[in-house]
Each structure stands twice: as structure tokens, then as C-alpha cells.
Amino acid sequence: MSLRKRAGFTTAATGLTVLLLTSTASAAPGPGSPGVGDPYYPLDGNGGYDVSHYDVRVSYQPESDRLSGTTTILAKATQDLTTFNLDFLLNVDSVRVNNRPAKFSTDGGELTVDPAQDLHKGSRMLVVVKYSDTPNKYELYGYNAWKQTATGALAVDQPHMAPWWFPSNNHPTDKATYDISVAAPEGLEVISNGTLVGTSQQIDGMVRWHWRSKQPQATYLAFMAVEDYDVSEELAPNGLYYLNAYAKDLQNPDAARASVDRTPEVTEFLETKFGKYPFEALGGVVTTGLGFALETQTRPVYDDGFFARGANTYVVAHEQAHQWYGDSVSLGSWDEIWLNEGFAAYAEWLWSEEQGEGTAAEIAQFYYDSYAADDPFWDVLPGDPGAENQFHDAVYDRGAMTVHALRTAMGDKAFFKLLKQWPKKKRNDVGTTPELIKLAEKLSGKQLDEVFQTWLYTAGKPATSPNGDAAVRAAKAEAPKSVAKIDRTHKLLHQRELAHK
């Protein structure tokens, strides 16, 4: 039987507890909470309602960085509401709730809406927000996520992006479907999530691109990329809609294509480990000036720098793994980021085995031996790294070592069942570390608290490597060069993610 009151597990469960308390607030009429109580970003998300669909319809002028349009939100009240909040930074022109004009105010990324009539628990909400502004002038949590390029812009970032371009309930615990429609000057392309429904020519010379995401999606995973792209569109071998886009000013265009064009192959391999691919579309976007890669749902976005040394399918494996671990199964609070990054990093190690460039056991040992016992790396706890260390190497490397230590403890048969059952059981939902532990223990018949406590919540280098046997560590062979290559590629990923924060 598991122990659930260890220090690490108590910390990990705190955010979920706050979420539950918030979502079950008193039925008495009153304002919705301005946040869901996330331990790292307390004003992220909002209480009192649940969103089912966003219809984002905007126009973008790159020369002036002007974004204007309307977002329509379909939601349901989860309590009686006198007012409610949306997360949004831009200047708002008007708000309507259930077809009636509503009063509103904005302050520090919070849009507070006062509808003409109170909303009753269980009632439908139709919220229409019109706005126009220049996104680049705003900061939230000390940074600006909006990225202008030579000819366009990118609405791509983590853990926050939505507030710069559409009002939302901005937390992964409230996922929704999307229609995203963006008009941009003729000659530019607009890429987003899901499938391209079509394009339409406007009388003002703009071209409008219509995208649709049929599966629930977290707000930070919704993206917009406006640029001069080379676009290829077809059906993948598995029959899914497949679109790749490559900016025309790439420094490494051939290496990028030799990597991202293999997305269907990488996905096919990951299906053997994680189960059926959870979404309706595939693809990728490669651009410049982004500084990182991100698992935007159905279509990850990559910086051209990942391909500076030639083809790099490891970053593709990482971002595609997120489609299961992070996108389909989202984290319940941002302190549990290891659930996303640890498993995605481990997918790189599994891909290495498939490519014959080092086994997961060899790579786990290599990483363990790469960090000295007194390295500050071991002081960052992947299970709760702190907002300032959310994308620290330890979240990725020690997170992946945690996954391998779990594999060692469970045994391969039970472990690979876990890799498939977790995303199947939690599909289109959120997951927490205690829930993962419970499932792992059920499948293995073993008590696993010590594994998680040691690798996620205890500072210092574990006495035993992720392979579990000190004799393995003492007798290990020299790490193959391919493993060192993975290490350098992986660190490039971290450095680029950290550089823009």
C-alpha cells in the first residue's frame, strides 16, 4: 500500500487540492475566482465556468503589429455568477454575454466581466470579446511571449501564450476545442493547430486562413504562425492530415526537412510505445528567431537552430512524444512539469534504441555519470522545481532518469503497459503524479513510493543509478559517441528554452 503523505507527494497534490476547492465553490451568487490557484501562477485560469469551445477570428498586420478581431467563447457556468474573469492582456473594445452588452474592466492580464444578468449554475455562456491592440508591448510574469519576425509574428510559447492574442480560461485544466481564423497580408501563410479547413480572399487584399482542432486542447498549446513559408500538405501513411511549413529564410533548410519530414515515421514508432496517436493531424513548423521547440498540439514548432549540425530527429521524437504526454494528458498544475518533460525526454532515449545509437539503459547511465555528486543540478527537484527552474536541465534529464528508474523497478512488462495505459486512461484529461504512482503500483504489484521520493523530491545525487544495480555502474562500458551526441543535442534544447525567459 502506498504512502501518500511524504513531503514530495504533499507538495505535488497541493495544486490539485486548490483546484478542487475552487471548482466546488459555494453555489451562492458571487464573482468567479480570478485564478484556479496554481502554485506557480496563482492568477492563471479562472473559477466559476468551464469552456467547451473557442472561436478565435482575428486579423494581423505585421508592419504595425496590429492584431484585431473577435473571440467567441462557449462555456457553462459551474456556479452562480455575478461576475467572472478571463485571462487577457490586450485592449478590449466590447464584451457581450448571452447577446447582451456587458460591463468590463482590465487589470494586469485579468479581464473582469460583469454581465447584464447573473449567470446560474449549469447555464450556457456565450461570451463575445472584441479587441484591437499591438501585442508586443505587453509583459506577463516578467516576459513578453509575442514574437515578431521579419515578415510576420509567432504566437508560440510556454507556459503562457494565449493572453497575447485571445481571451481565455488560461490553465491546462480547462481544455476546449478550437476554430482559429486568421487574416494576414497576401503572400504570407498562417499556420495553426489541427486541419486547414480552407482559405478565403478578402476584399482588403488579406487572405483568411481557417483552422480547426477537434480534440480538446490547452490554451498554451493553441498557436498562430504568420510568415512566408514553404508549405506541404498531404495525407500521412496512416491517413491523417499532414502539413509541414518551413520559413523561407532558414539557415538549415535541408537538415530541417530531413528531420521534420520524418514526423510520420517517428509517430509510427511512438505508437508502439504509447498507443494510438491521440489527434487528427500531424506536422511541424520550422522557423527562425524562436529560440526553442514547443509541442503545439498536432503541429510542433521548431527553431532552425536545432538542425545546425545536420538532421536531428531526437527533437522531433521529443515534441511528438508530448502529443501523448503533455497535450492529450495535460498536467494538473505547473509544478508537475516533469510529467510532460520527463516522459518526452525518455522518448528520445527510446528512439535512440530504435535507431541503434545507444540503449535507454546506456543513456540513463551516461546522464547519471555526467553530473558530479556536488553539481547544483541535483539540488533542483523535478517533482517541484519552482517556477524559476521550470525548464531547468534537471526537469528533463533527472525527469527522464526518474522514468528509467521506474522502468527498472517495475520491470519491462509492467512498465511498457504503463506507457500505454496512462495516456489511454487519461486521454483528453489531466493527470497528477499521485495518479501515475497509483497506476504504476497497480500494474507492477509493487510499492514505488521510494523510487519517486528519491528521484523527484530528494535533493542530492541518488546513491544508485537509474539502472538500479551499483555493479552496472561500476562495470559500465565507455558511453558510445552517439550517446554524447544525444546529450549535446538535448542540452541545446534546454539552453534555447531557457534563453528566452
Cell numbers representing residue 160 in the block: 503562457
DSSP string, 24-48: T--SSSEEPPS----SS-TTSS-SS
Residue 21 is predicted with a pLDDT of: 39
The overall average pLDDT reported for the chain is 90
pLDDT for res 181: 98
Nearby residues of 139 by Cβ (< 8 Å), 6 or more positions away: none
pLDDT of residue 5 exceeding 70, the answer is no
pLDDT tier, 483 (very low <50, low <70, confident <90, very high otherwise): very low
- What is the pLDDT, as a whole number, of residue 84? 98
Residues 257, 248 contacting (CB under 8 angstroms): no
The answer to whether the 32-227 and 331-499 domains have the same CATH topology is no
Residues 264-292 have pLDDT tens digits of 999 999 999 999 999 999 999 999 989 99
Report pLDDT for 29. Answer: 77
Residues linked to residue 330 through DSSP beta bridges, in sequence order: 430
32-227 folds as Immunoglobulin-like (2.60.40)
3-class SS at 195? Answer: strand
* pLDDT for res 157: 97
pLDDT of 138 reads: 96
Quick one: pLDDT at residue 486?
46
For 57, the grid coordinates are: 477570428
Report DSSP letters for 404-451, one per residue: HHHHHHH-HHHHHHHHHHHHHHTTTEEE-HHHHHHHHHHHH-S--HHH
Which among 157, 218, 225 has a CA at the least distance from the CA of 189?
225
How many Å is the maximal CA-CA distance in the chain?
A: 73
In angstroms, the CA 373 to CA 378 distance is: 8
Tell whether the model's pLDDT for residue 496 goes beyond 90: no
How far apart, in whole angstroms, are the C-alpha atoms of residue 340 and residue 385?
13
pLDDT at 432 exceeding the cut of 70: yes
Single out the residue of 56, 57, 62 nearest to residue 185, CA to CA. 62
pLDDT over 50 at 481, yes or no: no
Q: 97 vs 17, 164, 497, CA distance in Å?
A: 30, 22, 38
Q: How far apart are CA 40 and CA 21, in angstroms?
A: 17
Q: What percent of the chain has pLDDT over 90?
A: 86
At residue 234, the pLDDT reads 93
According to DSSP, the residues that pair with 180 across neighbouring strands are: 56, 211
Predicted confidence at residue 205, as pLDDT, reads 87
pLDDT-based confidence at residue 28 (cuts at 50, 70, 90): low
The count of other CB atoms within 10 Å of the CB of residue 428 is 15
80-94, 139-153, 316-330: which has the minimum mean pLDDT?
Answer: 139-153
Which residue ranges make up each domain of the chain?
Answer: 32-227, 232-323, 331-499
Task: Using pLDDT thresholds of 50, 70 and 90, give the confidence band for residue 182.
Answer: very high
Q: For the residues 420-429, what does the mean pLDDT come to?
A: 97
Does position 501 have pLDDT exceeding 80, yes or no? Answer: no
Is residue 411 pLDDT above 50, yes or no?
Answer: yes
pLDDT tens, position by position, 222-263: 999 999 999 999 999 999 999 999 999 999 999 999 999 999
pLDDT computed for residue 1 by the predictor: 40
Yes or no: domain 232-323 corresponds to CATH 3.30.70.270: no
Residues 6 or more apart whose CB falls under 8 angstroms from that of 450 comprise none
Residue 10 pLDDT exceeds 80: no
Exposure class string for 141-156: b at 16+ Cβ within 10 A, else e: eeeebbbebebbbbbb
Q: Residue 2 carries which side chain, given as an amino acid letter? A: S
CATH of the structural domain 331-499, one choice from 1.10.10.10, 3.40.605.10, 3.40.109.10, 1.10.390.10? 1.10.390.10
Q: Could you tell me which residues come within 8 angstroms of residue 332 by beta carbon, excluding any fewer than 6 positions away? A: 15, 16, 19, 172, 173, 430, 431, 432
Using the predicted structure, report yes or no on whether residue 474 has a pLDDT greater than 70: no
Residue 498, pLDDT score: 30
